[in-house]
A and B are shown apart, each in its own frame.
Chain A
Amino acid sequence: MNSPPRLRVYAVTWIALMALLVATFVLAHFRLGAWNPAVALAIAAAKAVLVALFFMHLRRSSALVVLFAVVAFFALAILFGLSGTDYATRAIHPTPWVAPDRY
Chain B
Amino acid sequence: MSVAAPEIRPAAWREQTVSLGMWVFLATELMFFGGIFMGYLYLRTQFAGEVAQASRHTHEWLGTLNTAILLTSSFSMALAVRFSQLARRETVQRLLWVTAALGAAFLAVKFIEYAMEWHEGLVPGLHFTIVENARTTALFFFLYFLATGVHALHLTIGIITVLWLSWRLRKPPFPDARADDVEVLGLYWHFVDAVWIFLYPLFYLVSLAS
Contacts and interface: CB of A to CB of B under 8 A. Distances in A.
Given A55-B78, A64-B16, A75-B27, A18 B68 contact: yes
A48 B23 contact: no
A1 B15 contact: yes
A32 to B, nearest CB: 7
Interface stretch (B110-118, B147-155, B162-170, B186-194): B186-194
B34 A28 contact: no
Contact of A51 (B38, B85, B193, B200): B193
Contacts, number: 140
B209 A36 contact: yes
Contacts of A72: 23, 26-27, 30-31
A21 B190 contact: no
Contacts of B60: 25, 28
Interface band, chain B: 35 or more
B58 interface: no
What 10 pairs between A and B have smallest CB-CB spacing?
A72-B27, A40-B201, A28-B205, A14-B75, A55-B78, A31-B209, A4-B85, A28-B208, A4-B82, A48-B194
7 contacts: A1-B85, A4-B82, A10-B82, A18-B68, A51-B197, A79-B38, A103-B125
Interface of B: 11-12, 15-16, 19-20, 23-24, 26-27, 30-31, 34, 37-38, 41-42, 44-46, 60, 64, 67-68, 71-72, 74-75, 77-79, 81-82, 85-86, 124-125, 128, 130, 134-135, 138, 186-187, 190-191, 193-194, 197-198, 200-201, 205-210
